[in-house]
Amino acid sequence: MEESPGGPSQKKVVAVVGGGLVGALNACFFAKRGFDVELFETREDIRQAKIVRGRSINLALSHRGRQALKHVGMEEKIVSQGIPMHARMIHSLNGKQSPIPYGKKGQAKRENNRLVIYLSSYPVKLMCRVNFVFLRSDGSEEQVEADLIVGCDGAFSAIRKQFLRRSRFNYSQTYIPHGYMELTMPPINGEFAMKPNYLHIWPRNTFMMIALPNLDKTFTCTLFMPFEEFEKITTGDEVIEFFQKYFPDAIPLIGVDALKRDYFRLPAQAMVSVKCSPYHIGSKCVLMGDAAHAVVPFYGQGMNAGFEDCIVFDEIMEQFNEDFSAVLPEYTRVRVPDDHAIADLAMYNYIEMRAHVNSKWFLFRKHIDNLLHFLMPKTIIPLYTMVTFTRTRYHEAVARWHWQDRVINRGLLFSATGALLGGSFLLIKNPPDINKLLVPAEKMWSRLVALRTS
Task: Measure the CA–CA gap between 116 and 310, rounded to whole angstroms.
Answer: 17
Predicted structure pTM score: 0.82
CA distances, 199 to each of 21, 207, 217, 252, 350 (Å): 22, 16, 14, 19, 14
Q: Is 171 exposed, middle or buried (0-12, 13-18, 19+ CB in 10 A)?
A: exposed
Q: Domain 3-353: give its CATH code.
A: 3.50.50.60
pLDDT at 9: 55
pLDDT at 116: 41
307-330 confidence digits (pLDDT tens): 999 999 999 999 999 999 999 999
pLDDT at 49: 59
Domain boundaries, the chain: 3-353, 359-428
Identify the segments of the chain with pLDDT beneath 50: 1-8, 113-117, 119, 130-137
Task: Measure the CA–CA gap between 436 and 362, rounded to whole angstroms.
Answer: 42
Longest dimension (CA), the chain: 117
278-296 confidence digits (pLDDT tens): 999 999 999 999 999 999 9
Task: Measure the CA–CA gap between 191 and 31, rounded to whole angstroms.
Answer: 41
pLDDT at 81: 80
Q: Can you give 296-326 as a three-state secondary structure string?
A: CHHHCCHHHHHHHHHHHHHHHHHHCCCCHHH
